Amino acid sequence: MVIDIKKLIALMTDFGYKDPYVGVMKGVIKSINPNAEIVDLTHGITRHSVLEAAVNLLVSAEYFPQGTIFVVVVDPGVGSERRALLIETNNYILIGPDNGCLSLLIERDGVKRAFDISNSRYRLLKISSTFHGRDVFAPIAAWVSRGISLEDIGVEIDVDSIVKVSIEKPMYDLEEGIVIGRVLYIDLYGNVMTNVKADYINLIETKVGSRLNVIVGNSEHQCIYERSFSRVPCGELACYINSWGFLEVAVNMGDASQFLKVKLGDKISFKAT
């Protein structure tokens, strides 16, 4: 039985904003459920960056209402043998490719059931090899938002078979008094989010207002450990625990990623002065 209800669908892709791909996905959803409410979480994920998608989903989901349907289309394996998934967690429905982009939120939120929707009868009739966002993920999200039973949409699978990614844990060198992390995300402003959380900073006994050495490759820079980048002079480096709970490096009114010459995955270390 189809129950026509209003349910929030949040879209995340690496499609960008130049092409019509996102708009077409929304058109498919609205064609199936005109009452669907659609939110653009982001379409600016770095192309093909599954880990970046997983991290953004992880830090964003808790600010959405229970029952939100998240559709994540960062899918470099589209057209291959990778599965299409629908996951029911304790609080959300997750739809996307089986490449790890859903796995960080799955780990935190827990899983009730998981389904392979690769051959679902709720896909569009014509399936492209290159646009499963339109032909598979969008229509299935729309039908879920209308109340279709999940058992009717896909084939239940073992949760342990789902592809996983992980956030690498920082390391602490006691002898050197240094925390060794990785660049986890770089936002539009060039702010550099690392995988280092506050408990690691406590190990090097850093207090607000003190200075930290930021080490990237053979370069070493000083930053002020503060509550926000706005609390340091313009053009200076600031380190702070960001709104997601990770240590971030910024240049007040500047671009820390360019200043430090870092990219996703690079090693970045912190040491008290």
Q: Are residues 116 and 249 in the same domain?
A: no
Question: At residue 1, does pLDDT exceed 70?
Answer: no
Domain boundary among 161, 190, 209: 161
Are 215 and 151 contained in the same domain?
A: no
Q: Are residues 40 and 146 in the same domain?
A: yes
pLDDT on residue 94? 98
Are 176 and 121 members of one domain?
Answer: no
Mean pLDDT of 188-207: 89
- Residue 205 clears pLDDT 80, i.e. is over it: no
Give the CATH number of the domain where residue 66 resides. 3.40.50.10790
Note the pLDDT of residue 65.
Answer: 96
30 and 151 inside one domain:
yes
Whole-number pLDDT of residue 175: 79
**b/e 121-144 (16+ beta carbons within 10 angstroms → b):** ebbbeeeeeebbbbbbbbbbbbbb
Q: Is residue 35 part of a domain?
A: yes
Q: Are residues 55 and 103 in the same domain?
A: yes
Asked whether residue 235 is assigned to any structural domain, the reply reads yes
Percent of the chain with pLDDT over 90: 89
pLDDT over 60 at 4, yes or no:
no
Whether the predicted pLDDT of 148 surpasses 60: yes
For residue 1, being part of any structural domain is answered with no
What Rg value do the Cα atoms of the chain yield, rounded? Answer: 21
- Return the minimum-mean-pLDDT range out of 70-84, 99-113, 199-213: 199-213
Per cent of the chain over pLDDT 70 is 98
Q: Which of the listed residues 126, 141, 161 is the one where a domain comes to its end?
A: 161
Count of domains forming the chain: 2
Query: Residue 6: its pLDDT value, please?
Result: 57
Cβ–Cβ < 8 Å for 216, 266: yes
Residues 142 and 29 in one domain: yes
154 with 215, same domain: the answer is no
Given a contact cutoff of 8 angstroms between Cβ atoms, the answer to whether 228 and 240 are in contact is yes
Average pLDDT over residues 205-226: 90
Same domain (yes/no): 46, 175: no
Q: Which domain holds residue 57?
A: 8-161
Q: What confidence category does residue 232 fall into, taking pLDDT thresholds of 50, 70 and 90?
A: very high
pLDDT of residue 74: 97
166 is a domain residue: no
Indicate which CATH number applies to the domain containing 250. Answer: 2.40.30.90
**Same-domain pairing of 125 and 218:** no
Asked if the structure places residue 3 within a domain, the reply is no
Mean of the per-residue pLDDT values for the chain?
Answer: 94
Distance CA 93, CA 114 (A): 10
Same domain for 115 and 194? no
Same domain for 155 and 43: yes
DSSP SS3 for 142: helix
Q: How confident is the model over 50-104, as pLDDT tens digits?
A: 999 999 999 999 999 999 999 999 999 999 999 999 999 999 999 999 999 999 9
pLDDT in tens, 22-34: 999 999 999 999 9
